[in-house]
Structure 1
């Protein structure tokens, strides 16, 4: 039973009818094969990675109302009060893809999240490379993709954490925000989950039908990426930093930075990116 009437639980049955094929009264052509909602877990990604040993499981969705060991990139923790966020992981098998292209999946997820939020929440969501979702310069969602297998079929668990109704005092860091704080048109999590998972299914299906060619996906990503054109600081793995202007995203999904000191542009595949104020 829940006591916070402003944060009702997700309705698993309704979500299954909307998103899972074969559900009585639902869409027979829906993308997903299963959808489970649990009250609490450590990490939906960890749970789904454990489930991925079942080779018959594919397009499976796990949502938790609360995570006490949620993880982001670089093993950072991500925790939100119960029923204040969307914490969802999806297992996706990707037959025929070059394992080298699996790194595009979290970027694709970023495109899907941005489009879903622009559509139903009516907020000006954008991407910060590689896959943080921002509203007004503050982070509202993060994405973590973890490879479950590379053979015989490349398989990835894709986790998305989205702040929905968090108040300012509940934000994990001052640079975060929530849909509620951003003045979203809706903070109904059922609506947001449906839009998010449908957008993810649509983008994945287009990529699959294109034979995993990244050309169209890369263009969609660039159109939504606010990092391009920004002066940035890249904190590089192993130490060191690079200051310059982000000039584009290359065919491998790397951020291309033109250094302030006039050197040739550098493609960065990993590292923390900070948007800086323009030089005066």
Structure 2
């Protein structure tokens, strides 16, 4: 594990590091991250001392053949939920695919990226997984109204070192069943997924929009939605989900 005072992006640093060497198991934590990235290119900025900004390298050799690469960010969400409960006692839920919410507000985001250098060289295949957790942001410093931080939820400061250790331990437990037992991973994910049973809007590629009720997450990690407009359930592997209020 390496801790640095400041960097652009812990994910970008590890992706670059993995381009010419095997760095499976490497963990990088930054006190300040000035160019962090989330899903769909969203920025993730961290104020020193108020976030956990951490990336790790996962050995994904053989996972592509099993169709299991897409499970890495999902199982990371499960690990973050478990770690938050262990360290703070707070209950959190995953919004598909991998945002972690407390009381419906986002407290953590996850980004997984393939380290292409190893893939191209034939040495193996690695995935860099980045986790950002709002741990100490004040209410007036939150980036958006739909965000929160663990200190606001708990009313006390959170030990970021302990939280990082808990996330890594939870990741190890989830990865011990991946990619060979996707059924068990799916069960774990369903148990903490707050999207299931919820009315949702899914913004799909090519500007398509689906509104319906999320009913399941299948063993490939796809969210299954029954459209309000009628018709058969649709399994979605990529999209931006918004939780909606139930119809009156």
Asked if TM exceeds 0.5, the reply is yes
**Which residue number in structure 1 is paired with residue 85 of structure 2?**
118
- Residue 79 (structure 1) aligned with residue 40 (structure 2): no
Structure 1 partner of 2:140: 169
Deviation at residue 55 of structure 1 after TM alignment: 3.0
1:252 to 211, 220, 236: 220
CA–CA distance in structure 2, aligned partners of residues 235 and 123 of structure 1: 30
**Residue 152 of structure 1: CA displacement?**
4.1
Q: Do the aligned residues in 2 keep the contact of 1:145 with 1:158 (CA within 8 Å)?
A: yes
Q: 1:196 aligns with which of 128, 149, 167?
A: 167
Secondary structure in structure 2 of the residue aligned to 1:238: helix
Aligned equivalent of 2:209: 241
Partners of 1:214 and 1:206 lie apart in 2 by: 7
Output the TM-score relative to the length of structure 1: 0.84
Q: Distance in 2 between matches of 1:139 and 1:56?
A: 33
* Cross-structure match for 2:193: 225
C-alpha root-mean-square deviation of aligned residues, in Å? 1.4
Q: CA deviation at 1:94?
A: 2.4
Indicate the structure with greater strand content.
Answer: 2
5+ residue gaps, structure 1: 1-34
The 5 A counterparts of 1:78-97 are 78-97=44-63
Mean Cα deviation higher: 164-173 or 47-56: 47-56
Distance 1:193 1:184 in 2: 20
Would you say the 8 A contact 1:80–1:170 is kept in 2? no
- Cα offset, 1:158, TM superposition: 0.3
Tell me the alpha carbon deviations over residues 109-148 of structure 1, each in whole angstroms, 9 at most, x when there is no partner.
0000000111111111110000000000000000000001
Q: Say if 1:43 and 1:67, in contact at 8 Å, map to a contact too.
A: yes
Q: What's the TM-score once normalised by structure 2's chain length?
A: 0.94
Q: Deviations over 1:217-238 (max 9, x none)?
A: 0110011101000000001111
Q: Does the 8 A contact of 2:136 with 2:157 survive in 1? A: no
Question: In 2, Cα distance between the equivalents of 1:219 and 1:48?
Answer: 30
Task: Find runs of 4+ consecutive structure 1 residues off by over 4 angstroms.
Answer: none
Match of 2:105 among 114, 129, 138: 138
8 Å Cα contact 1:230/1:276 also seen in 2: yes
Aligned length: 243
* Pairwise CA distance, 1:186: 5.3
Higher Rg of the two aligned structures: 1
Aligned partners of 1:227, 1:221: CA distance in 2, in Å?
A: 11
- For 2:233, the equivalent position in structure 1 comes to 265
Q: Is the 8 A contact 1:123 1:184 kept in 2?
A: no
Verify: 1:101 aligned to 2:68, yes or no. yes
SS of corresponding position for 1:277: coil
Structure 1 residue 59 and structure 2 residue 36: aligned?
no
* 3-state SS in 2 of match to 1:66: strand
In 1, the alpha carbon distance for the partners of 2:188 and 2:155 equals: 23
1:190-246 deviations in Å (ceiling 9; x for gaps): 111111111112211232xxx533111011001110100000000111102111000
Q: Is the CA contact (8 Å cut-off) linking 1:85 and 1:162 kept in structure 2? A: yes
Deviation for aligned residue 1:156: 0.2
